[in-house]
Structure 1
Amino acid sequence: MNTSEFRRLSPASKLLVVNQFGINVGFYMLMPFLAAYMSHNLGYGAAVVGLVLGVRNLSQQGMFLLGGTAADRLGCRPMIITGCALRVLAFGLFSVLTSLPGLFAAAMLTGLAGALFNPAVRTYLMHEAGERRAETFAVFNVFAHAGTLVGPLLGAALLRVDFRLIAVVACVAFAVLTIAQAVVLPHREVEPQRQSVLGSWRTVVANRRFLAFTLALSAYFGLYNQLYLSLPLEAQRVSGLSEAVAVVFAVSTLIGVLGQVRITRWCRQRWSAGRSVAIGLTCMGVSFVPVMLTGPLLPVRASGELDWAATAAVCVPVLLTTALFTVGMAITNPFAMELLPLVGSERLAGTYYGFYYLVSSVVAAGVGWLAGALLDLTGETALAWSPWLALLVVGLAGGAGAALMERRGLLGRTERAEPVPATTREGTA
């Protein structure tokens, strides 16, 4: 990453992007290994493990709107600190509890923490960034990608000792982050809301421009989850190696870390924010063309069936898809975050972020189910291209929706900007 973009951030923004690195290190240090721990160490069945993980997702996604609303009414800073503190408690429970009720409680608290933290930190950054929102969120994504890369590596090293050690180290990391936020993160004045909670929700739902934007951008989240579902499965299928899954993540993460800021700057110089979003979503969809064309021609491989050169060759299509997919993500996300308060409202930014993530999570679940079902149904048949075609259509539909809004002038500032609350420093908290 070009450090000049990081240096241009405000002190509060620098704290939050570094904090996101720590958040992702702590989270991904533990979560990728939780299923194996519950299954192999604690002896729980796959259905129970899936239920616990599902409860975590539901408790986070189902509470996004409440978390965003709380950020608007109680302030972003308290929600950021509370969300991080809940992670301390949740990961502490993972370190000491092995009973099913205890694991459910830890999973629910983990999800609730994310629901409080995520809309709040993005709303805070939106206010801090001013006219450089896309650039700020690009740097934010770089640090998030870096944490996603470091977390599993650290977790894998600690797992050689004990899973509970991972939980303790993650708990300590979140505790340090919570203290840092409480001491250093500046206070922001909370603008009094003129509506009740239900009134603000009605305002969001009545905003047709925002609803259209959310529907188009929900394609981003529907496709984003394929980085954890279809692409790893395809890499393992064609290579016969479980290590190929790690290569998919490594390629995506390295492109995100090394290319995100450069990609955002390149797009800023050439395209509007709306056009960037449309092109990014289209790129994400088109990225599945290589595996759609080659997947049906490549059979399932057994471990050790191919030498290293042949293994590398059969993995080229899925790695090309991963690279194009990640570039599309890097184009889309920062500009989507820039546009969201414009099609929504800066005064109710947290509520709009929360609703945006809530709707997108529902769409993502549906797209994930569709892709998984098609992968199961088609398998090695002549229709093996159909999951990838479905994902291509999702990306093209999202890109077309964003392009149509851009063409109609719906992705620009169409009304006088609402005042952004000033930051007031009050020393340490």
Structure 2
Amino acid sequence: MTLDGFRRLSPAARLLVINQFGINVGFYMLLPFLAAHMTGLGYGAAMIGLVLGIRNLSQQGMFLVGGTASDRLGCRPMIIAGCALRVVSFGLFGVFTSLPGLVAAAVLTGLAGALFNPAVRTYLMHEAGDRRAEAFAVFNVFAHAGTLVGPLLGAALLALDFRLIALVACVAFAVLTLAQIVVLPRREHGPQQHSVLGSWREVFANRRFLMFTLALSAYFGLYNQLYLMLPLEAQRVSGLTEAVAAVFVVSTVVGIALQVRITQWCRRRWSAGRSVSIGLACMGASFLPLLLSSPLLDAPAAGEPGWGVVALACVPVLLTTVVFTIGMAITNPFAMELLPIVGSERLAGTYYGFYYLVSSLVAAAVSWVVGALLDVAGEAPIRWVPWLALLVVGLLGGAGAALLERRGLLDRAGEPARDQGKETRR
């Protein structure tokens, strides 16, 4: 089904999908091993956390700027510039060992992501026409595949030299940049009616978009737990660091195998708004197995635990991972379809950028709160509290999306759409 969906895409959309696979291969080939590389260089955990935090902040903080630039300069130049900048930034990771050099590489890596992430999604949105959810489903499958291949390739190269990882990643992004220059068609973008500040004021004044963004920020708040709470719990109950890899493998395989089928199934039965609402609720409900089992499962005693014990202890984590990934697969393509509807196709990049900026800030806050709850709960019987908090986040996000759907605010004829100007209705 994925191949059928891929063949239905336009040539430009196919390139964007392949491009996302390559971007994820290059990114996950290097970033997961950066901490180990810096440890080998003699840096402590605080400095490693600083570099990784700066990379994240530089990307999140510039999402709105990158999205606005794609509206005004065109998506194609921003995609090309972002990939070219990744060539430079990943090269710096391989060349520099000093803290200023690593910080510079981190800043440029984040800026590159802020340039091409909104631009890629805006271009694909325009290119997909009335099959946006299906196009983003295929897009997600290729992204998942890149997320799976990247770390495997990086681990193999790390056995030789981290600088080799940086070199191969640079080559991958250079090939992508060249392919986009040669193959990716230019898209016409009309003149903007307002200044940059005027465009931002339009976004801030769009109340239904702000409500939609607040509801959907639950998606990113929960998505971050794939890298925080689920790996921590897998390692805690199994006593093995290898169990962390199982979480990512299961999530990636489920995403690759089921994403397109889930999107098609939802399309036949539900509206886009209802799919988003159910998907968010599903992501929240996925933490129920851990809410029930976490207080009952202690960390294994010192010594090598038996594989039977490990497998049994990991069942709730892996069950949560499967249901969680299904919830993501339901939510994401339809959220991408709805964004230009509750926002504006004329300013799609700006709306995408603002959406990702707000969502990333909410995700950071949710992760901090859940982490603090985990520290307080510890190994006590109240260890279920963090999982309850995540369940509530998902249910609140789903309820918010359901309320917008019930009020008709996720339709093109929604009340705030008339405030967007004539250009929006064309």
TM exceeding 0.5: yes
- The amino acid that maps onto 2:64 is L
The separation in 2 between residues aligned to 1:281 and 1:388, in whole angstroms, is 15
- Structure-2 residue corresponding to 1:377: 376
- Structure-2 residue corresponding to 1:74: 73
Give the superposition deviation at 1:2.
2.9
- Structure-2 residue corresponding to 1:426: none
- The amino acid that maps onto 2:368 is W
2:19 matches 1:19? yes
2:386 matches 1:387? yes
SS of equivalent residue, structure 2 residue 382: coil
- Structure-1 residue corresponding to 2:130: 131
- Structure-2 residue corresponding to 1:8: 8
The separation in 2 between residues aligned to 1:319 and 1:46, in whole angstroms, is 29
Preserved CA contact (<8 Å) 1:235 1:245: yes
After superposition, the Cα gap between the structure-2 partners of 1:406 and 1:303, relative to the gap in structure 1 and judged at 3 Å, is farther
The separation in 1 between residues aligned to 2:341 and 2:255, in whole angstroms, is 25
- Structure-2 residue corresponding to 1:61: 60
Which deviates more, 293-302 or 56-65? 293-302
SS of equivalent residue, structure 2 residue 383: coil
2:285 matches 1:286? yes
- Structure-1 residue corresponding to 2:98: 99
The separation in 1 between residues aligned to 2:252 and 2:70, in whole angstroms, is 30
The separation in 2 between residues aligned to 1:330 and 1:229, in whole angstroms, is 19
Give the superposition deviation at 1:310.
1.6
What are the equivalent positions in structure 2 for 1:104-253 lying under 5 Å apart? 104-253=103-252
Preserved CA contact (<8 Å) 1:278 1:402: yes
- Structure-1 residue corresponding to 2:272: 273
Aligned residues: 420
SS of equivalent residue, structure 1 residue 384: helix
What are the equivalent positions in structure 2 for 1:298-377 lying under 5 Å apart? 298-302=297-301, 304-377=303-376
For 1:237-263, what per-residue CA distance to the aligned partner results, in whole angstroms no more than 9, with x for missing partners?
Answer: 000111100000000000100100000
- The amino acid that maps onto 1:9 is L
Which deviates more, 406-415 or 272-281? 406-415
Preserved CA contact (<8 Å) 2:234 2:317: yes
Give the superposition deviation at 1:160.
0.4
For 1:51-93, what per-residue CA distance to the aligned partner results, in whole angstroms no more than 9, with x for missing partners?
Answer: 0000000000000000000000000000000000000000011
Which deviates more, 97-106 or 408-417? 408-417
Structure 1: segments with no counterpart, 5+ residues: 422-429
After superposition, the CA RMSD in angstroms is 1.3
The separation in 2 between residues aligned to 1:141 and 1:315, in whole angstroms, is 26
Preserved CA contact (<8 Å) 2:230 2:317: yes
Preserved CA contact (<8 Å) 2:2 2:138: no
SS of equivalent residue, structure 1 residue 385: helix
After superposition, the Cα gap between the structure-2 partners of 1:194 and 1:408, relative to the gap in structure 1 and judged at 3 Å, is same
SS of equivalent residue, structure 2 residue 130: coil
Preserved CA contact (<8 Å) 2:344 2:424: no
The separation in 2 between residues aligned to 1:76 and 1:2, in whole angstroms, is 25
- The amino acid that maps onto 2:22 is G
Which deviates more, 412-421 or 395-404? 412-421
- The amino acid that maps onto 2:159 is R
- The amino acid that maps onto 1:377 is V
The separation in 1 between residues aligned to 2:301 and 2:330, in whole angstroms, is 36
Give the superposition deviation at 1:304.
4.7
- The amino acid that maps onto 1:374 is L
Give the superposition deviation at 1:338.
0.1
- The amino acid that maps onto 2:124 is L
Preserved CA contact (<8 Å) 1:239 1:303: no
TM-score normalized with structure 1 length: 0.96
Preserved CA contact (<8 Å) 2:274 2:402: yes
SS of equivalent residue, structure 2 residue 412: coil
TM-score normalized with structure 2 length: 0.97
- Structure-2 residue corresponding to 1:425: none
- Structure-2 residue corresponding to 1:424: none
Preserved CA contact (<8 Å) 1:127 1:420: no
2:38 matches 1:38? yes
The separation in 1 between residues aligned to 2:31 and 2:3, in whole angstroms, is 30
- The amino acid that maps onto 1:331 is I
Preserved CA contact (<8 Å) 1:241 1:304: no
Preserved CA contact (<8 Å) 1:346 1:420: no
Give the superposition deviation at 1:190.
1.6
The separation in 2 between residues aligned to 1:276 and 1:148, in whole angstroms, is 25
Preserved CA contact (<8 Å) 2:289 2:319: yes
Preserved CA contact (<8 Å) 1:240 1:304: no
The separation in 2 between residues aligned to 1:363 and 1:303, in whole angstroms, is 38
Give the superposition deviation at 1:191.
1.0
- The amino acid that maps onto 2:403 is L
- The amino acid that maps onto 1:7 is R
